[in-house]
Amino acid sequence: MIRFNNKTKTRLQKFLSYYKPYRKIFAVDMLFAVLSAAVMLVFPLLSGYITGEVLKEWNSATLSRLLVAGAVMLLLIVLRVVANVTYAHWGHAMGAKMEGDMRDDLLRHYEKLSFHYFARNSVGKMMTLITNDLTNMTELFHHGPEDLVMTVIKFFGAFFILIQINVPLTLIVFAVFPLLCFNAVYTDKKMQKALLRSKSLLGDMNEQLEDTLAGIRTVKAFGSEQAEFEKFSRRNRAYVYSLCHFYKVEARFYEVVESYPQLLIMLVVVCGALLMGSAVDLPVLITFLLYVSCLSEPIHTILNFMGLYERGVASFKRFMEVMELEPAVADLPGAQNLGRVQGCVVLEQVSFRYPDGSENVLENVSLKIAPGEKLAVVGSSGIGKSTLSYLLARFYDVTSGSVKIDGNDVRSLTLASLRENIGIVQQEVTIFSGTIRENIAYGLPEASSAAVEQAAVLAGAHEFVTRLENGYDTVVGTKGITLSGGQRQRISLARVFLKNPPILILDEATSALDSETERNIQTALDQLMSGRTSVVIAHRLSTIRNADRIVVLKDKQICEQGTHPELLQKNGEYARLYRMALA
């Protein structure tokens, strides 16, 4: 009896669960696959009947019997075509629906995972899983059962019929058959190995090509065209060589496999003649040969299934490795919705270490931000300024201590209600494919056109938007490629104006902009912060001189805090940073 460990059992249950909504389709698919295989087994019997009985002696009844047999064969052909079309259509439809379900599940799970996961995994890797790997899985989902069922029926059905015709000849054929299968599997393994090698080298070549083209300005500036060409050429030649090797192995594989029917026919003819001698029955031999010819198809099917199985199981393993990841940050049991927010933010003895980090980024940080206060956080690069914003929005949980909003520990609140009350403007603005209107209304798709335009006015975006040919219905392209940096940032600000949150985080929101654009946007930022609890993480100290309070981070802690004039007068870390900025 096969025993599965708990992990394997869970994964098997997950695998089978995707069939559950489509049980009726699966049943129809299997029914017509069985019908198609059964019809294939009847054809040689009819051929044997025609050659052995109908045409044995020509008389007045022969023609009618021949027409009846022909009509039955035609009916079987139509039946097989209907069966093939039905199981091919419904099988693929079921596979497509299951793939859609898995894609939905995977994206939902991706959205629950923490920033830590996305920092460790490339977008390309995640896209490969949600596209190529899911396709491999669904190929196994719908082709796998069909291939297995049809192969079993054809193989054992042919064996049962052949054993009735001639036992010794059947045993000879089925003794050789496993050897042919083994040779086909062995050759297929070599072909797959050559294919994987070729794909790996193709990836290396594409990576080199991407580097060269992405950095073409640098390549030209340093006159390195020839060096880049030589690097690419080496990888290109290695790929071409591997491809030629693959084609050689592939040619051998297909030629060998295609020769199997002829080998089996030769075996049947020679051995049949030796066994039967002069008593050879031609119609029986023809029937036998037709069934032997049918056996070549299961060999192809077995090889196809093995490839499907290897790719599908490997892809399903990668799928489950992601699905089994527990989100580092999630709603705790009994989490409450955050009600009306005053905007009082308190950090109590907060220490934090990133999941893969060897030491804390923050240690015993305590801070209270009053409702409506504009607080600036400054410090040298990598000191943990942005980390504070991650903890406020609970993108990460504190290692120790607590973060509270209006007296509520953020871990006791639902993530949805917490983040509904926090607006974040970051240095790297994300613009989604779609129109400007859709981008401003992101997160509030039900917002009216008037509300969207009012938010754009407040963000200083309305003027440039109305100058565009299609105004708010202008399609901005992937990542907002048609917009300037300042325009993208204004759209980002308009989003937050529309959201109108009581707590605002500006995480180096203007550091990527030039000084003139920054000055133009600063007015919109000041208006956005008015009346809100605002945390400003600053890159340029000149932008936060008017903050109600400035907090300076150093050595994982708050080393000083006060207003701009107070901190300059202390002549401490802030004064040092300010002098460096002026220099």
Which residue type does 150 have? M
Burial classification of residue 440, based on how many CB atoms lie within 10 Å of its CB (0-12 exposed, 13-18 middle, 19 or more buried): buried
Strand 549-554 relative to strand 533-537: parallel, antiparallel, unpaired?
unpaired
Asked whether residue 515 carries a pLDDT value surpassing 80, the answer given is no
Cβ atoms of 404 and 346 closer than 8 Å:
yes
**CATH value of 15-323 in 1.20.1560.10, 2.70.70.10, 3.40.220.10, 3.90.550.10:** 1.20.1560.10
| All structural domains of the chain with their residue ranges | 15-323, 345-582
Contacts of 183 (CB under 8 A, 6+ apart): 256
DSSP 51: I
The HSE-up count of residue 11 (CA atoms within 13 Å, CB side) is 17
- Nearest residue to 144 (alpha-carbon basis) of 310, 7, 319, 314: 310
Contacts 24+ apart (CB under 8 A), 250-257: 250/191, 250/194, 252/187, 253/184, 253/187, 253/188, 253/190, 253/191, 256/183, 256/184, 256/187, 257/184, 257/187, 257/299, 257/300, 257/303
- Span 42-56, average pLDDT: 76
Contact status, residue 437 vs residue 473, Cβ threshold 8 Å: yes
* pLDDT at res. 512: 57
Q: In the prediction, which pLDDT does 409 show? A: 93
The pLDDT assigned to 201 comes to: 85
More confident call, 103 vs 313: 103
Residue 308 dihedral angles phi and psi, to the nearest 5°: -60, -45
Mean pLDDT of 472-500: 84
What pLDDT score does 276 carry? Answer: 67
Strands (E), 388-527: 400-405, 408-409, 422-426, 503-507
Tell me: the pLDDT tens digits for 54-110? Answer: 666 777 777 788 888 888 889 988 999 999 999 889 988 998 999 999 999 999 999
- Sheet containing 345-352, strands listed edge to edge, beginning at the edge strand earlier in sequence: 362-369, 345-352, 400-405, 408-409
pLDDT tens digit sequence for 353-402:
988 878 888 999 999 999 999 999 988 887 888 888 889 989 999 999 99
Say how far apart CA 303 and CA 296 lie, in whole Å. Answer: 11
Tokens of 16: 């089978």
pLDDT the model gives residue 2: 46
**pLDDT over 80 at 498, yes or no:** yes
More confident residue, 142 or 514: 142
Furthest CA-CA distance within the chain: 123
Range scoring the smallest mean pLDDT among 3-7, 163-167, 545-549: 3-7
CB-based contacts of 550, cutoff 8 Å, min separation 6: 375, 376, 377, 378, 544, 561, 562, 563, 564, 567, 574
Dihedral angle of Cα 109, 110, 115, 121, to the nearest 10 degrees: 130
Rounded to whole angstroms, the Cα distance separating 489 from 492 reads 5
Residue 356's pLDDT is what?
A: 80
pLDDT category of residue 551 using cuts at 50, 70 and 90: very high
Q: What percent of the chain has pLDDT over 90?
A: 21
pLDDT band (50, 70, 90) for residue 4: low
Q: Are 349 and 400 in contact (CB under 8 A)?
A: yes
Measured CA to CA, the distance from residue 341 to residue 430 in angstroms comes to: 27
Residue 54: what pLDDT?
Answer: 67
Span 345-582 CATH architecture: 3-Layer(aba) Sandwich (3.40)
State pLDDT tens for residues 415-470.
989 988 998 888 778 888 889 999 999 888 888 999 999 988 888 888 888 988 88
> Over the chain, what is the mean pLDDT?
84
